[in-house]
A and B are shown apart, each in its own frame.
Chain A
Amino acid sequence: MFRFFTLFTGGRKMKPCFNKIFKSVRRIDTFQIITLPAVIFVFLLFVLMLFVYFYNALPAFIREGLAVYFKNIWQASEEPGKEYYGLIAAIWGTVYTSMIAILIALPISIAYSVFVIDYVPKKLKNIFIIVSDMMAGLPTIIYGIWGVFALVPFLQKYIMTPLYKNLSFIPIFSYPPVTGYSYFSAGVLLGIMVTPFASAVIREAYQMIPFTYREAAISLGLTRYETTKILLGYIKPAIFSGMILAFGRAVGETVAVSLIIGNTFNLSPSLFAPGYTISSLIANQFGNAYIYRHMLPVLYAGGLSLFIIGLIVNIVGLYLLRRWQENVRI
């Protein structure tokens, strides 16, 4: 037995040999052996997700081609031959509502960041930050139920109806706000929901401005308004990326939007018209898509476009933010 082992180890004793093997195994870090599979698993999961959407959307691309994204038509029919679907209305709704949300979130989040950092006394600062954190984390369905029973009636009565009555010759106000469920309501709710995310980015950036700039501005005898204007110019890229990230959030929001957007296929520039977003379309139609033969792949195609919009928006936003942060750290 002993001779048998010495045969393999070239005459040396057995123990040093095992030590050597053990050492070479240890060179492949045990740490990596444990953690790397988890990392690879997450990456694979993400790729698998993209693949699942692409694979399931494929029949729609084969049947309708890329026109599935550019046609404004939604014909669900018992006869498969008559079915035809286009997603442009939903894509339009997604972009339109998210833009409204950004337009609302931009001034509020900038004002909020400036107010919290420059104006609020130190003791109260924490309260403002808690409020913003809570708004960011509040379950979206609570925003949804509040939107349906509080926000929409309010907007319909005090904003949409007066605007329609007095300014309906302007195209964007031309749709009669009968129910209040519309792009506008959804955009306002989304604006409220994404403001804390945008303001978190802007606040952090505003706080990071080197103190010397502030000192210099004040020593020139500038007023607070003029100082703030200069400092905000300094963090412009961060504001931009905060807006992009907020846009990404708004694009992906589902339940709150689907409760108040009205769920109608519409390609209208009118603010008060009901519409659809991609996510609310999926939320609404997925359940009964199995009845029809060709609807499901189209919904997956919608999901794919949402996937890609989300991916691009987030990558661009993160890239800009990171580049700015690197430039600031002197």
Chain B
Amino acid sequence: MSEYKIRKGKEIAFTISITILTFLGILPLFHIIATVFVNGLPVITKESFTFLTGTFSNGGIGPAIAGTFILIFLSSLIGLPVALLVGVYAYEYPNSIIGKATETLLQIMLEFPTILVGVFAMSIIAIPMGTYSAFAGAFALAIILMPYVAVYTQEAMRQIPFTYREASFGLGLSRIKVIFRVLVPLSKRGILTGVLIGMAKVAGETAPLLFTIGGLYESYPVSVTKPVGAVPLLIYTLVQSPSKGNHRMAWGASLILLLIFLLIFIPIRVSLKEVKL
């Protein structure tokens, strides 16, 4: 009897501790979102439209928002074609040496310290060009975006039943037609999800931009070979400054960044059951 009681007691202790630990683990997210809204919303409502469009001295972060969208667009432009081709290759040759090596490389790049990518982009693009530029930042971000899209492409294509492959090859189509005309269109939803995940990741990255884009907050960007701003980088700079006014701006910018992230993240969740970031 007493042994039964001990076991029962252990069971209860286990359930309680597991519940507490789980909620301890997810509590930060709710606290973060609440804090960002509580601190950021007054800033945005006070300045209202100027905050979204104005330059920094007018109390707005318009150029930074524009810069972030330019960077997302440019890095997708550079990264997506390569990512798609690499993902398709990894799907088609899962057992060859190059295929296996590609898969491993993609996994390593997923986890790779992003600051190293930033410094790399600086030393091969920003230094030879002699100036910070949107292009250098987009190049660094493209390296970060690439593995996400490639891994998702590969995973999405693996979901297609093998019979489709057999049927297409049975029609006498060449490999390239089977892949790009049949299998890629079939898995376009999964691939699109990967693209969105890559973009969500890229939109919030700060470290690769530290030494590549320079920062431009007093006027709107005009050229990809000139410095631009970005919301995450702006937040990083503002948090480090001692002024209270700057901290308020940082909270406002954080709310905008959170909203951009959610804007990309929600469609992903709608289209997919589980996301691996």
Contacts and interface: CB of A to CB of B under 8 A. Distances in A.
A34 B89 CA distance: 10
B206 interface: yes
Query: Which one of B25, B206, B275, B277 has the greatest number of beta carbons of chain A within 10 Å?
Result: B25
Contacts of B22: 108, 111-112, 115-116, 128
A111 B102 CA distance: 34
Given A135-B28, A141-B257, A119 B113 contact: no
B62 to A, nearest CB: 19
A137 B261 contact: yes
Contacts of A137: 197, 200-201, 204, 261, 265, 275, 277
Interface string B14-50: 1101110110111011011001100100000000000
Given A45-B143, A131-B26, A314 B17 contact: no
A146 interface: yes
A52 to B, nearest CB: 5
A142 B258 contact: yes
Interface in A84-139: 107-109, 111-112, 114-116, 119, 126, 128-139
Interface of B: 7-8, 10-11, 14-15, 17-19, 21-22, 24-26, 28-29, 31-32, 35-36, 39, 81-82, 85-86, 88-89, 92, 98, 101-102, 104-105, 107-109, 111-117, 119-120, 123-124, 143, 146, 174-176, 179, 197, 200-201, 203-207, 210-211, 232, 235-236, 239-240, 247, 250-251, 254, 257-258, 261, 265, 269, 273-277
29 contacts: A31-B175, A36-B89, A38-B89, A39-B102, A42-B86, A42-B102, A53-B120, A108-B24, A109-B25, A115-B18, A115-B19, A115-B22, A128-B26, A133-B277, A137-B197, A138-B29, A139-B203, A139-B232, A139-B258, A141-B236, A142-B257, A145-B251, A192-B28, A223-B11, A282-B119, A300-B119, A303-B119, A314-B111, A318-B108
Given A135-B26, A142-B204, 11 more contacts: A30-B174, A35-B86, A36-B89, A38-B81, A49-B117, A111-B25, A115-B19, A137-B277, A145-B239, A150-B31, A225-B10
